[in-house]
Chains A and B, each alone.
Chain A
Amino acid sequence: MKIGVYVCECGSNIASTVDVDKIVEEAKDLPNVAVSRVYKYMCSDPGQELIKNDIDEYNLDKIVVAACSPRMHEATFRSVLEDKGLNPYVLEIVNIREHVSWVNSDKDKGTEKSMALLTGAVYRSALMKPLERKKVGVIHTALVIGGGIAGIQAALDIASMGYKTTLVEKTSSIGGKMSQLDKTFPTLDCSQCILSPKMVEVNRHPNIKLLSLSEVVAVDGYVGNFKVKIKRNPRYVIEDKCTLCGDCLPVCPVIAHDEYNQGFSPRKAIYISYPQAIPASFIIDPDDCLGINPLICTKCKEVCGPEAIDFDMQPEIIEKEFGAIVVATGYAPYPIENIGEYGYGTIHDVISGLDYERIVSASGPTEGKILRPSDGKIPETVVFIHCAGSRDPSKHLPYCSKICCMYSTKHALQYKHVVHNGTAINFYIDIRTAGKDYEEFYQRAAEEDKVIYIRGKVSEVLEDGDQILIKGVDTLSGETVELHADMVVLATGITPSEGTKEMASLMNLAVDINGFIREAHPKLKPVDTAIAGIFIAGTATGPKDIPDTVSQASGAASKACGILSQDELEIEATVAIVDDSLCLEVVACVLKRAHIALLRCK
């Protein structure tokens, strides 16, 4: 065996605190070393040529380079070996710059440490075996989990690049939280008007297969070759046959709370969550319906002209293979009933931001009139409390929910636009308007629409006759504030949704301290996860507004297409193998779906 040792001076970066000539000389006495040289810049073209010439001249088998960190130039020197027909993995890098010369000014000690590291590397080099890079095929289909705006955008982008995409949504319709919003900041354009065309496009896109009422229950495999099990729950209405005629509605005897309207209006047991829902089909809620096990009532089935109702539908498991996965499982509002002092759940007219969206929406329970829930009167004073559950590390969520300054401002503005002589008061900790045209929006609310902003936290919200008493402190004047309002809107914090938590644990995705899925790198790999081939978009990674969510979704889609567009993927050769002599065959690794090359294991 012949090993070539190459020591880099890195100009004076290494040479000034390491006696490179000395270690080059000493290296010659190490076992198997055929040649040992020093050069000013080993990574430069002449430096690389030097190694290449020696490989020819001395017939070298292995190379040891003592230079900067392998994170800098391991790839550079591997390609040198590859050019000369050597296996690129029989290269050993000794980090004598970041780990020696830059952190130590004593030349004798630096030289001694460098020599120790180099000696170890030469011995290690002798033990190195060539590795083969594996190639695997790629299945050219994508899976998008979650049908909110992030999932919709990702699915549309992947599909329009020509790849078959399956969009899995847990509920009966895609659209997610955005479908419940009335208007969006800062442009005040109607949420449904910009969302529903995209939903329709998902439905009619030839490359998108939409699975509503479905959940991913198992994910196996690896980049390019994921095997996924999807459980499809029964709708009890055949999607393709339902014509949305609504003949079933008047005959259904069951009345339930309408989740889409946050429980402010009733619905029947057979219903469509909102008129623009996709898939455009009614659904029967099995918990409410009297027709499903036991069969007591069949009124809807009797009147259904297209014979779309099937009480015997069963859940089915769909098994499919995908090349890439986008996780867009979204958020859930913080359970504000946890904030006892705000009275949500006990005082009727204390509502959440999402409740308010439905009340103010033209398609909502009050058809856009702002009426308070308790007695249906128009509230003359409305208090909007920011950071309900957010930025409260001692009791609730430590982080900022990012969007609630903006949507509370929007809520106040919408109130002023409907109730012109009403009073809108916002209690805030800080106003955060970091986004395009956001600050202007806030200025407009405060100056033109006379929305009142009080800097301070509300300490207590109490029922006082038919009004609400709000106690707080104005931290700018330092005075306590007590005022009466007719309605209170809490700007709810944002937490990872159940789906986000489930998918993270199902796929072994790392989560941060708050339970959101962690990016591979918070700045430079914002849509990658630690697992190759699985990407993330939207609020599954943390609080986000719609523009950020959509751009992240497009980013995740293009990253997914980067995998789908290839016929073969080269898999890094440095992977774990199983030492048969030590393996006890307890298959814990298989059960844990550890990401090791179990392919090689018997």
Chain B
Amino acid sequence: MEEFEPNIIGFLCNWCSYAGADLAGTSRIQYPPNVKIIKVMCSGRINPMYVVNALQQGADGVLIGGCHPGDCHYSRGNYLARRRIAVMKRLLEYIGIEPERVRMTWVSAAEGRKFAEVVEEVTEDIKKIGPMKKIRRENVW
């Protein structure tokens, strides 16, 4: 049987984590190609529905990257994100979806190595959980 290759969406904030992912690139650090990155201005911009929509429409996992606590470009967007995601993970659990499918992390613009490590971990974790099958719906644009 072919190994399950998870499809993971990465929402990264413009100021820290996206730049961290860029640094992983400029440092040529190799990591699995499973995470597809979507840039948002701030992790605080991530509406929990983005995560739910991703999981419904083809993603097996979601990675959220923001600035380290205290470093948010907008002062406290990452704190808002942390709270929202914490609540949302409980909601996911409630409706029977593994909350481990969603992972939030802090990656600064200087942490290319950390970004690559997080992607490896997330990919491995989602591989273990297996494909997302519940609450799927058609991708309607």
Contact = CB atoms under 8 A, between A and B. Distances in A.
Interface string A81-115: 00000000000000101111011111001101100
Contacts of A58: none
B71 A510 contact: yes
B36 A103 contact: no
B36 A104 contact: no
A102 B33 contact: no
B36 to A, nearest CB: 5
Contacts of A116: 36
Given A113-B36, A510-B75, A595-B74, A69 B29 contact: no
Interface stretch (B37-45, B96-104, B129-137): B37-45
Given A123-B141, A510-B75, A98 B21 contact: yes
B33 A109 contact: yes
A69 B23 CA distance: 10
A112 B5 CA distance: 12
B75 A103 contact: no
Contacts of B70: 510-513
B121 to A, nearest CB: 15
Nearest to A594: B74
Contacts of A70: 39
B124 to A, nearest CB: 16
Interface string B15-31: 00001011011101111
Contacts of A574: 41
B116 interface: yes
Contact of A99 (B25, B28, B32, B141): B25
B73 interface: yes
A120 interface: yes
A100 B71 contact: no
B25 A69 contact: yes
Contact of A120 (B28, B33, B36, B74): B36
A99 B41 CA distance: 17
Bin the interface of chain B by size.
20 to 34
A97 B25 contact: yes
A104 B19 contact: no
A113 B119 CA distance: 14
A95 B37 contact: yes
B116 A103 contact: yes
Contacts of A120: 36, 38
A71 interface: yes
A405 B82 CA distance: 42
Contact of B28 (A95, A100, A102, A112): A102
30 contacts: A69-B22, A69-B25, A71-B19, A71-B22, A95-B22, A98-B24, A98-B25, A98-B26, A99-B21, A99-B37, A100-B33, A102-B25, A102-B28, A103-B25, A103-B28, A103-B29, A103-B31, A103-B116, A104-B30, A104-B32, A109-B33, A110-B33, A113-B36, A117-B36, A508-B75, A510-B70, A510-B72, A513-B70, A530-B73, A530-B75
B33 A104 contact: yes
Nearest to A509: B75
B80 to A, nearest CB: 11
A106 B22 contact: no
Contacts of A106: 33
Contact of A103 (B30, B38, B39): B30
A188 B98 CA distance: 68
Contacts of B19: 71
Contacts of A512: 70
* Most chain B CB atoms below 10 A, which of A95, A512, A513, A574: A95
Nearest to B42: A576
Nearest to A114: B33
Contacts of A117: 36-37
Interface string B64-101: 00000011111100000000000000000000000000
Interface in A92-151: 95, 97-100, 102-106, 109-110, 112-113, 116-117, 120, 123
A513 B71 CA distance: 10
A100 B24 CA distance: 10
Contacts of A71: 19, 22
Nearest to B73: A530
Interface in A496-554: 508, 510-513, 530
A594 B45 CA distance: 13
Nearest to A71: B22
A279 to B, nearest CB: 36
A103 B116 CA distance: 9
B26 to A, nearest CB: 6
Contacts of B31: 103-104
Interface in A474-502: none
Given A97-B25, A99-B21, A113 B33 contact: yes
B46 to A, nearest CB: 14
Nearest to B116: A103
Nearest to B38: A120
* Most chain B CB atoms below 10 A, which of A117, A510, A511, A595: A510
A202 B71 CA distance: 36
A104 B141 CA distance: 30
B50 to A, nearest CB: 13
A123 B31 CA distance: 26
B23 to A, nearest CB: 8
B22 A99 contact: yes
Contacts of A123: 141
Nearest to A102: B25
Contacts of B33: 100, 103-104, 106, 109-110, 112-113
A176 to B, nearest CB: 28
| Nearest 7 pairs of A and B residues by beta carbon | A98-B25, A102-B25, A98-B22, A113-B33, A109-B33, A104-B33, A69-B22
Nearest to B19: A71
B123 to A, nearest CB: 12
Contacts of B22: 69, 71, 95, 98-99
Contacts of A595: 74
B75 to A, nearest CB: 5
Given A69-B25, A98-B26, A510-B75, 16 more contacts: A69-B22, A70-B39, A71-B22, A95-B22, A98-B22, A99-B37, A103-B24, A103-B25, A103-B33, A112-B33, A113-B36, A116-B36, A117-B36, A120-B36, A123-B141, A530-B75
B30 A105 contact: yes
* Most chain A CB atoms below 10 A, which of B22, B28, B39: B22
Nearest to B71: A510
B58 to A, nearest CB: 10
A110 B62 CA distance: 20
